[in-house]
Amino acid sequence: DYELCEEWGHLYPVPREDLINLHREHLLHLLETGDMEKASQLLQRIEDPGICLAISEQCLDQHPSLAASHFLADYLTTHFYRNLTTARRNEIQALCMGSKVLLTLPELSRVNYFHLSSRPLLMLEQLLMNMKVDWVAVAVQTLHQLLGGQEVGFTVEDIDNLLSKYAEKALDFPFALKEKRS
């Protein structure tokens, strides 16, 4: 049905908003069914870059699945990096990094941290608080690789400070001195 509507749009004038809505719904459908190749082809078929940008951003703002979010964030940073505001660029890059970190976690646990996918530092802190040390090690390694020179609102030093803070808390043993009575 989406493809028929797309053909109809080539034959008859369709208002821009309706065209955006059609492509957005089609893209979301393809992403939710896991057909990333057709989703990529759909985005390539759209001739107007403004429409393509609007569709991609609107889809991302609807918080689709992990794989769909990762695909959209990666697509936006690859094709529209210069068209995004600095704040939006940082937000999308953080989401891209967060989704990559989520993909390193065991599949059954991803749902517990999905809501933090756009905030990788907070996700890392949550993993530390939940004592998932093995997962933290992989997440930190992934973030260090991804941060290489990118500006996303936090740095490698922020990660190191967070790790230091929790390492210090782990070694903090409150104790009371006992007095010797004579």
User: Helix, strand or coil for residue 150?
Assistant: coil
- Out of 84, 106, 132, a domain closes at 84
Position 13 in a domain: yes
Tens-place pLDDT, residues 40-98 = 888 898 888 888 999 999 998 887 788 888 889 889 988 888 888 888 888 888 888 88
For residues 79 and 146, membership in a common domain is answered with no
Tens-place pLDDT, residues 141-177 = 888 888 876 667 778 888 888 888 888 877 766 666 6
Q: Amino acid letter at 100?
A: K
In the block, tokens 């057709």 appear at 38
How much is the pTM? Answer: 0.72
Counted domains in the chain: 2
- Out of 41, 58, 84, a domain closes at 84
For residues 64 and 99, membership in a common domain is answered with no
Tens-place pLDDT, residues 6-30 = 777 778 888 888 888 888 998 999 9
pLDDT at 180: 64
pLDDT at 175: 66
For residues 2 and 76, membership in a common domain is answered with yes
Q: Is residue 44 within 8 Å of 27, Cβ to Cβ?
A: no
Domain that holds residue 99: 89-171
- Out of 69, 84, 99, a domain closes at 84
Q: Which two tokens stand for residue 63?
A: 């918080």
The set of residues, in sequence order, having a beta carbon less than 8 Å from that of 102 and lying 6+ positions away, is 66, 110, 113, 114, 117, 123
